[in-house]
Amino acid sequence: MNVIDAIKGRRSIRKFKQRDVPQKDIETIIDAARYAASGANMQPIKYAVMRNHKEVYPCTKWAGYLTDWDPAENERPLCYIAILGDAGIKKTFEPDAGAAITTMMLAAHEMGLGTCWLGAIDRAKLKEMLGTEHEVLYLLAVGYPAQESRAFDETDGNIKYYEDENGVINVPKRPMSEVNVGTRE
């Protein structure tokens, strides 16, 4: 898979097959994140693998734009990677976390795995669960996809993704003509 195809083909996945992702694959994904860009190369991002998915799931929220939508019990992820910030290294984490998570999502996609970046999470509960001194930033759900999702260029300014009659998630992306605001010579 070439990089541009991976970038364009990756979509958030919110329904998963009930099959465990091998630990070595999860480690490959985390290892890829070590190579992500990092401000001043400080590398303050840490990771924890959470396979206690039944405990983690209540700390998450899914697909805010879909009404009354949650993965059913037999569609939920069996594994999460918690993305943590080590305040002993640096106090701000956002750009580094974004670079690391994007890298992990693309690595997982290349391996045939689906991911969903989760920001609507109960950080206090997860921190307690992990027993970590690090700041809990995000979760990344990882698993074998059981859902189709596609991107399309939207032209009417509506950025809300929707589920169609075939259960496919359709994700609007602002068109090039809108995001590329010009070239200065």
Shortest Cβ 11–ligand FMN spacing (Å): 4
Length of the chain: 185
In angstroms and rounded to an integer, the radius of gyration of the C-alpha atoms of the chain is 17
Angle at 80 between CA 6 and CA 2, to 5 degrees: 10
Q: Which of 49, 151 has the CB closer to ligand FMN?
A: 151
Interface contacts to ligand FMN, rule CB under 6 A:
11-12, 14, 61-63, 116-120, 149, 151, 161, 171
Query: What three-state secondary structure class fits 129?
Result: helix
Q: Which of 6, 151 has the CB closer to ligand FMN?
A: 151
In sequence order, the 6+-apart residues with CB closer than 8 A to the CB of 131 are none
Q: Which of 86, 148 has the CB closer to ligand FMN?
A: 148
Pseudo-torsion of CA 32, 37, 39, 44, nearest 10°?
A: 0
Shortest Cβ 85–ligand FMN spacing (Å): 14
**Scanning the structure block, which residue is given the tokens 């009404």?**
67
Shortest Cβ 160–ligand FMN spacing (Å): 9
Shortest Cβ 183–ligand FMN spacing (Å): 26
Q: Which of 119, 175 has the CB closer to ligand FMN?
A: 119
